[in-house]
């Protein structure tokens, strides 16, 4: 069978695109708050104010004539990441891990001359990667150092952890591992591996690549069974705190573990995708329903994190009685 | 939330109701057909009046057919050289009057009428009450014969209806009795027989009148009017065929004149003659109704697209198809879940396909986008600023289009000349987007989105070129309201998209096994 039955999917609580747009995004994310997360500089600033660790900002470029300053900005750094401030879905991100004789090297080992980087920056400024093609700003960040925990699970890139935070409660999490196919990017569309993570423990549950279940990393051949994410409580707490930071009721927080600085937030997303359900082999709807049923939202991220850990822990205890409906179905 | 949803449903119901209501009104009250193939026979009848003038002042008065709701007169023309003309309306009906101070020799006047039947039942006006029948003056012999005949007929009938029918069939019987022969007086004159029937009915106290009409038969010439008897029965006038005694108006019979006024009066002329000829042709019912409604200034039509000049009407024909395309895009994206490059680009491609025809259009589209992508990949190496690059792509696209036109012209492929109908700026954007997509997400994504766009465009094209849909959107712009209501409802759909059933199909298996 190529198609799943809609009835079964509904009974598992899988949320579809239409319901996500209608019942989650348009209901819990006021449009005026979007710029806070669509503009990565603003997000960074907010996070810093909230005392959350973020990758260090090395510089920004706003105008085309700034492009010639690029060399100067990059001069002191061996490793850096160039990002469009308003890019989405990991578009336009260029990672440089090594500089040698005026040649810049990507994680894959490909050499990039300065002119190519300048053109890339110029494209970003022209709005090639921004929503609606609006003029954009370039930000240059320090490179995140791979935590040794992931050394066996990543290929030419830094894995990140996507946590869905609903009304301040982390409800689902997924580890995105870079692969050869994904060109070192943690983008599931391009072939990165998505690993569902138990909210209760930080242990790996399931893994998928291109929507199909796998048990080993396709490049390193390492099984996911013994994978447990360290600093799990801290990661959950950081994600939970993003609710106060942005006011968005339904958001996807992208976090990374830095070898030296520990958990940090790299990006927030007001329209997080649905692939996380495939990686977890579970639907969002029952978890959304649990949170929607709460009379009040706990103001403390710490206790929200505790609540989520108890509530969404996978095994044991056995599953909660499934409430496959969100509030939108009742009205 | 509940309230908002209720409000939306009420709004949808209102819009939908208004749209459907207007469509039904136009269909049933104004007669707009729902199918483009609906055609109506249109009769053109020409009455030719000939007479010889004597050199005196001439007045020709001619009875015109009455206007009834079941028959629409499209056009009436009166022609006669050098005659003054006026149309008179009297209680007994309309009359045409031609006049001239002096005329000699053979004269001719024409009256031409085009009409069609609305096939609506028309109730005969209640005001048209009969007068008390006048007792006819017969001489003794005839009177005796008449009374005897009436007695026979009365015995064989049960009521006025059967009496009238029996009387007419008796008078028409093949083996006439002595009484009948006496009454008919060996005159086979139509008018005489009609008046005899009316008189006999009057003796019985039944009101009746003469009706003259024309059998409409295609291609007939030199026809004359046929007489019918109309009898007042149980509160309404009933038409009787005076030859067969059949009741009711025959099909394709046009009532020309009611009552005993003359059909034609000529003062100052002699040997007057009148003959009718007629032809039938078929016209689109839509055109007839639209024209008639315009003439009657039916508000809804008078303030409609029909009131615009033809050129603008043609533009609207296209514009009114766009909502159909939008609906297709909504369905494809929300229900099917197809990814397209650019939300409404498929509609623009579909519009271009309408101009180029399907196959040619697709081939041209693929050639232009394919070549464009090749050249664009070279441009990306030139290290250009973004705006300059997209502008360069526009010029490249125009160059491709020009070369396609020229080459195909040389090769004698006329269809490819329609390439100019493709929106060039949109094509350039498509090429630029797809090329970026190729670099970032790989060729797979390009084929998914490009294919999705093309598929949506083809489906939109098939709908937009459907004759019935084209006809309905233009002639019933109210359909837009129905369309709007549908889109509002679809905007509420929170179920799975078809592609999501595939996307999540592995979940189903795993959940079953666990």
Residue A330 pLDDT: 42
Secondary structure class of B397 (helix, strand, coil): helix
DSSP letter (8 states) at residue A271: S
What was the pLDDT predicted at A317? 41
Read off the pTM.
0.70
CB A19 within 8 A of CB A250: no
Backbone angles phi, psi at A25, to 5 degrees: -70, -50
- Is B378 within 8 Å of chain A by CB? no
Delimit the domains of chain A by residue range. 6-52+147-330, 57-142
Q: Tell me: the pLDDT tens digits for B320-352?
A: 899 999 999 999 999 998 888 777 888 888 888
Taking contacts as CB-CB distances below 8 angstroms, the residues of chain B near A328 are: 1, 494
Domain A6-52+147-330, second-level architecture: 2-Layer Sandwich (3.30)
pLDDT beyond 50 at A322: no
ipTM over 0.85: no
pLDDT for A318 equals 41
Say how far apart CA B423 and CA B429 lie, in whole Å. Answer: 10
Query: Residue B471 contacts by C-beta under 8 Å, 6 or more apart in sequence?
Result: B35, B36, B286
Chain B positions in Cβ-Cβ contact with residue A23 (cut-off 8 Å): 494
Chain B: residue whose CA lies nearest to A1: B505
> B160-172 vs B190-203: helix axis angle to the nearest 10?
140
In CATH, the number for domain B38-123+213-220+250-297 is 2.60.40.2250
Which site among B1, B6, B341, B386 would you substitute to test the A interface, given the most A Cβ atoms closer than 10 Å to its Cβ? B386
Percentage with pLDDT > 90 across chain A: 37
Q: Which residue of A has its CA nearest to B436?
A: A128
Interface test with A, best of B507, B512, B513 (most A CBs within 10 A): B507
Give B394 to chain A, closest Cα distance, Å.
16
Among candidates A16, A122, A281 on the partner chain, residue whose Cβ is nearest the Cβ of B511: A281
Omega within 30 of 0 (cis) for the link into A317: yes
The half-sphere exposure of B313 on its side-chain side, counting CA atoms within 13 A, is: 10
A22-51 pLDDT, tens digit per residue, is 889 999 999 999 888 888 899 999 999 988
Partner-chain contact A3 B506, CB within 8 Å:
no
Contact status of A189 with chain B (Cβ, < 8 Å)? yes
Break chain B into its structural domains and give their ranges.
38-123+213-220+250-297, 313-476
In angstroms, rounded to a whole number, what is the distance separating the alpha carbons of residues B201 and B135?
9
Nearest to B494 among A123, A213, A328 (CB): A328
- Interval B193-203: pLDDT, tens: 888 888 888 88
Class of A57-142 per CATH? Answer: alpha beta
Quote the tokens at residue A88: 């989405």
CA dist B232 and B382 (Å) reads 96
Tokens at B1, concatenated: 């939330």
| C-alpha distances out from residue B439 to A92, A313, B429, Å | 10, 40, 15
Q: Do A277 and A14 meet the contact criterion of CB atoms below 8 Å apart?
A: yes
Q: Residue A321 — very low, low, confident or very high, per pLDDT cuts 50/70/90?
A: very low
Q: Judge whether residue A125 has pLDDT over 60.
A: yes
pLDDT of residue B126: 47
Burial A224-254 (b: 16+ CB within 10 A, else e): beebebebbeebbbbbbbbbebbebbbbbbb
Q: Which two tokens stand for residue A244?
A: 């106060």
By 3-state DSSP, what share of chain B in percent is helix, strand and coil, each rounded to 5?
50, 20, 25
Q: What is the pLDDT along chain B (514 residues), one digit of tens a residue?
A: 578 888 989 999 999 999 999 889 888 887 788 888 777 788 888 989 998 888 888 899 998 888 877 788 888 888 887 888 888 888 778 888 888 888 888 888 889 888 888 766 555 554 567 777 777 777 777 888 888 888 888 888 888 888 888 888 888 877 767 777 777 776 667 778 888 888 888 888 888 888 888 888 888 888 888 888 888 887 788 888 888 878 888 888 888 888 878 888 888 888 888 889 888 888 777 777 777 777 766 666 666 777 777 778 888 888 889 999 999 999 999 999 888 877 788 888 888 888 888 888 888 889 888 998 998 888 877 767 777 888 888 898 889 888 888 888 888 777 666 777 777 887 888 888 888 778 767 788 888 888 999 999 999 999 999 988 988 888 888 899 999 999 999 988 888 999 888 888 877 766 554 4
């Amino acid at each position: 069978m190529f198609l799943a039955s809609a009835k079964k999917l509904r009974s598992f609580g899988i949320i579809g695109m239409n319901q996500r747009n209608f019942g989650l995004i348009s209901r819990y994310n006021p449009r005026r708050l979007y710029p806070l997360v669509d503009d990565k500089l603003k997000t960074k600033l907010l996070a810093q104010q909230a005392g959350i660790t973020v990758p260090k900002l090395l510089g920004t470029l706003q105008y085309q004539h700034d492009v010639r300053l690029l060399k100067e900005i990059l001069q002191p750094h061996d490793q850096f990441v160039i990002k469009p401030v308003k890019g989405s879905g990991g578009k336009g991100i260029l990672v440089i891990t090594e500089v040698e004789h005026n040649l810049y090297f990507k994680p894959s080992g490909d050499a990039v001359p300065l002119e190519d980087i300048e053109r890339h920056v110029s494209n970003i400024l022209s709005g090639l990667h921004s929503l609606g093609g609006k003029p954009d700003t370039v930000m240059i960040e320090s490179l995140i150092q791979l935590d040794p925990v992931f050394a066996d699970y990543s290929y030419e890139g830094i894995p990140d952890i996507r946590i869905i935070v609903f009304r301040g409660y982390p409800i689902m999490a997924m580890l995105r591992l870079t692969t050869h196919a994904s060109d070192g990017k943690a983008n599931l569309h391009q072939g990165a591996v998505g690993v569902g993570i138990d909210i209760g423990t930080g242990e790996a549950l399931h893994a998928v690549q291109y929507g199909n279940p796998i048990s080993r990393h396709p490049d390193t051949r390492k099984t996911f069974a013994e994978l447990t994410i360290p600093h799990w409580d801290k990661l959950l707490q950081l994600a939970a705190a993003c609710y106060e930071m942005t006011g968005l009721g339904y958001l996807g927080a992208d976090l990374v573990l830095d070898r030296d600085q520990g958990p940090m937030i790299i990006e927030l997303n007001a329209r997080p995708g649905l692939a996380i359900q495939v990686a977890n082999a579970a639907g969002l709807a029952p978890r959304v329903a649990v949170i929607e049923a709460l009379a009040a939202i706990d103001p403390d991220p710490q206790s929200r994190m505790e609540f989520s850990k108890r509530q969404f822990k996978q095994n044991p205890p056995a599953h909660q009685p499934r409430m496959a409906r969100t509030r939108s179905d009742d009205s | 939330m509940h309230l908002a949803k209720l409000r939306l449903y009420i709004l949808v119901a209102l819009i939908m109701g208004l749209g459907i209501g207007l469509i039904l009104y136009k269909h049933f009250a104004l007669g707009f057909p729902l199918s483009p193939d609906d055609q109506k026979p249109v009769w053109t009848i020409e009455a030719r009046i000939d007479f010889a003038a004597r050199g005196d002042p001439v007045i020709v008065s001619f009875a015109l057919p009455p206007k009834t709701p079941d028959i629409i007169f499209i056009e009436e023309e009166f022609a006669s050289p050098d005659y003054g003309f006026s149309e008179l309306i009297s209680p007994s009906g309309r009359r045409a009057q031609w006049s001239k101070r002096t005329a000699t020799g053979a004269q001719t006047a024409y009256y031409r009428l085009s009409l069609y039947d609305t096939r609506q039942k028309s109730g005969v006006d209640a005001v048209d009450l009969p007068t008390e029948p006048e007792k006819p003056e017969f001489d003794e012999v005839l009177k005796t014969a008449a009374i005897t005949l009436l007695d026979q007929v009365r015995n064989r009938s049960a009521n006025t209806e059967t009496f009238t029918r029996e009387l007419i069939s008796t008078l028409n019987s093949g083996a006439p009795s002595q009484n009948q022969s006496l009454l008919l007086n060996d005159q086979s004159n139509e008018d005489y027989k009609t008046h005899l029937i009316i008189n006999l009915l009057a003796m019985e106290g039944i009101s009746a009148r003469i009706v003259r009409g024309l059998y409409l038969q295609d291609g007939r010439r030199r026809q004359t009017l046929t007489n019918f008897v109309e009898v007042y029965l149980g509160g309404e006038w009933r038409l009787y065929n005076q030859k067969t005694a059949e009741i009711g108006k025959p099909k394709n019979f046009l009532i020309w004149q009611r009552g005993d006024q003359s059909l034609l009066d000529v003062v100052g002329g002699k040997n007057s003659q009148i003959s009718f000829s007629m032809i039938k042709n078929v016209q689109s019912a839509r055109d007839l109704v639209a024209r008639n409604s315009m003439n009657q200034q039916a508000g809804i039509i008078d303030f409609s697209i029909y009131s615009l000049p033809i050129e603008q009407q043609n533009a609207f024909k296209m514009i009114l198809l766009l909502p159909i395309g939008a609906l297709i895009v909504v369905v494809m994206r929300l229900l099917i879940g197809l990814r397209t490059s650019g939300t409404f680009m498929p509609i623009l491609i579909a519009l271009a396909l309408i101009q180029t025809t399907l196959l040619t259009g697709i081939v041209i589209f693929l050639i232009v986008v394919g070549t464009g992508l090749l050249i664009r990949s070279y441009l990306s190496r030139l290290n250009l600023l973004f705006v300059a690059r997209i502008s360069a792509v526009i010029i490249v696209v125009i160059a491709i289009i020009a070369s396609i036109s020229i080459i195909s012209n040389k090769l004698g492929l006329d269809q490819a000349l329609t390439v100019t109908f493709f929106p060039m700026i949109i094509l350039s954007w498509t090429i630029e987007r797809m090329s970026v997509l190729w670099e970032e997400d790989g060729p797979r994504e390009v084929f998914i989105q490009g294919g999705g766009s093309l598929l949506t465009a083809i489906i939109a094209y098939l709908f937009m070129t459907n004759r019935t849909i084209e006809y309905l959107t233009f002639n019933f712009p109210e359909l837009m309201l129905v369309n709007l209501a549908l889109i509002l409802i679809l905007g509420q759909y929170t179920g799975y998209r078809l592609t999501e059933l595939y996307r999540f199909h592995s979940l189903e298996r795993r959940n079953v096994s666990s």
